[in-house]
Amino acid sequence: MPVDSQHQEYSNNLPKWTIVRDCDEGSQAIKKRSKGGSNTLSGMAGTAYLPAPNSSDTSDENRARYYAYLERANFVNFTGHTKEGLIGLVFRKKTNIEAPTDIEYLVENANGDGLTTDQMIKDATGEVLMAGRYGLLTEYPDAPEGLTEAQVRALELRANIISWPAESVINWRSQTIGGIKKLSMVVLVEPREITEDGFEYKIVTYHRVLLLKEIDGKLTYVQNVYDDKGSLEVWKTGDQEDGEDGYTGDIVPRKNDGSTWSEIPFTFIGSINNDAKVDKAPLYDIAEVNISHYRNSADYEESSFMVGQPTLVLSGLTASWVKDVLDGKIGLGSRGAIMLPVGGAADLMQADPNQMPSKGMEMKEAQITNIGAQIIKDSGSNEAEETVRIRFIGQNSKLGSIIQNVESAFLQAYAWAQEFQGGTGEAEITINREFYPKSIDPQAIMANIALLDRGVIAKKDLRTTLRASELIDPDRTDDEIDGEAEEASPIT
């Protein structure tokens, strides 16, 4: 089996991911993707999502007509706006991230390229919304065996968290080890930039294979790298001369003390859970309706172009009248006049509005709104949508499940990084689940103030209530509020 073999679930879901990503990217991506094929119009840009009305006609005239049909079509990016809106709901409040001292650097530089954990969490949330799948691999630089903690610190060796979109994880396998189901193989597509002159670059595809392999009777995590020709790269295992035995394709990741791993430090993030099974892409249904809306738009714009303008109709004219009186010309407008013979007539003919495509667009806009609402709605509630909104449903919604999975995956990645570093302690990551600002009854506020006046509650209790309702910025401390209150002038 070649290294670029694809898991069946991957092959089944790749077309869906492509649709969602094209919709998210917008009109340019939608209008440039072709359906494929050389003998029909299906090879033209745009035909993947807007089929040619007469694809068997390959004449230049029909190609030009399709191009105009495509250009007039209006793609409204409901998919991308929905994704941005959902991410905005989640990250309207800052994510709380706390890490032990050994891996505290991950908060500000999680991937080794300067990307913060907070930004990686936002990216992961968007990716799971689009594909229902994402991957995190915790990596550690190559280190000689037997380094002391001081030597590791001197070399500034740090574990990093590398993200992998759904399309980059093409194959995987799990097996039960000691009663626990573990990943035993993951194949990653790894694009690399290659240059020969230092100026012009080309992208070649390598494959990185993560494996659990028995070495010296011990289950060990190794990596294999295959070049763009599918050949396994090998390295010397010791001081052997060229041609001698002792070459292997295994890269053996080690912890900072030189010990090996008995698991692959890779975790999936799904829209339902974080196992290896591919979950449904939450935005896929919206993308499908988005494409249908786009096709309705194309038909509506085509109809408007073809018959939208009124056509002047003249009757009762003779050829001599047109030649001698009108001189073969007809002027239109309020300052023009048309000379007609006795019995002649003039009228403007205009088609009745074709509302079928327009109605179809309206119907699909409503469907998109309903699908988007289901992503944030509590799956176990029968309450009206407004009631659900006020109650800050998040924990049981689809979006809430994604947030929980993202949290869990990054905590696991942090734990592996801590294990790489050889440190102790646990990280804390809390992502906002209150998707809407809370509302509070003014009478409840007055009741709390009355309780404060009577000494039943403390000022801190009242402020806790006001922070929860966001009438007070949750990040402002009591000392800051007291200081500003003392400096403020009375309202007169």
Q: 347-382 pLDDT, tens per residue? A: 766 656 556 556 665 766 776 676 665 665 555 544
pLDDT value for 207 = 96
pLDDT value for 109 = 96
The pLDDT tens digits of the residues spanning 450-489 come to: 777 777 788 788 778 777 766 777 777 888 877 776 666 5
pLDDT value for 274 = 96
The pLDDT tens digits of the residues spanning 242-266 come to: 555 667 889 999 887 788 999 999 9
pLDDT value for 393 = 45
Q: What average pLDDT does the structure give for the chain?
A: 82
Cβ 185 vs Cβ 211: under 8 Å: yes
Concatenated DSSP letters of 382-450: -S-HHHHHHTT--TTSHHHHHHHHHHHHHHHHHHHHHHHHT-----EEE-----S-----HHHHHHHHH
* pLDDT bucket at 391, cuts 50 / 70 / 90: very low
Backbone dihedral angles phi then psi of residue 226, each to the nearest 5 degrees: -115, 135
Cβ atoms within 10 A of the Cβ of 366, count?
11
For residue 456, count CB atoms less than 10 angstroms from its CB and return exposed for 0-12, middle for 13-18, buried for 19 or more.
Answer: exposed
Given a cut of 60, is residue 104 above it in pLDDT? yes
* pLDDT bucket at 492, cuts 50 / 70 / 90: very low
Given a cut of 90, is residue 332 above it in pLDDT? no
Least reliable range by pLDDT among 2-6, 423-427, 466-470: 466-470
Alpha-carbon gap, residue 156 to 31, rounded angstroms = 48
Cβ 56 vs Cβ 42: under 8 Å: no
pLDDT value for 371 = 65
The pLDDT tens digits of the residues spanning 151-166 come to: 656 566 789 999 999 9
From residue 99, alpha-carbon distances to 136, 137, 155, 416, 426 in Å are 18, 18, 21, 13, 7
Given a cut of 70, is residue 384 above it in pLDDT? no
Q: Residues of the chain with pLDDT > 90: what percent?
A: 39
Residue corresponding to tokens 């003014």: 442
3-state secondary structure of 3: coil
Span 42-61, average pLDDT: 85
Token pair in block for residue 10: 């991957």
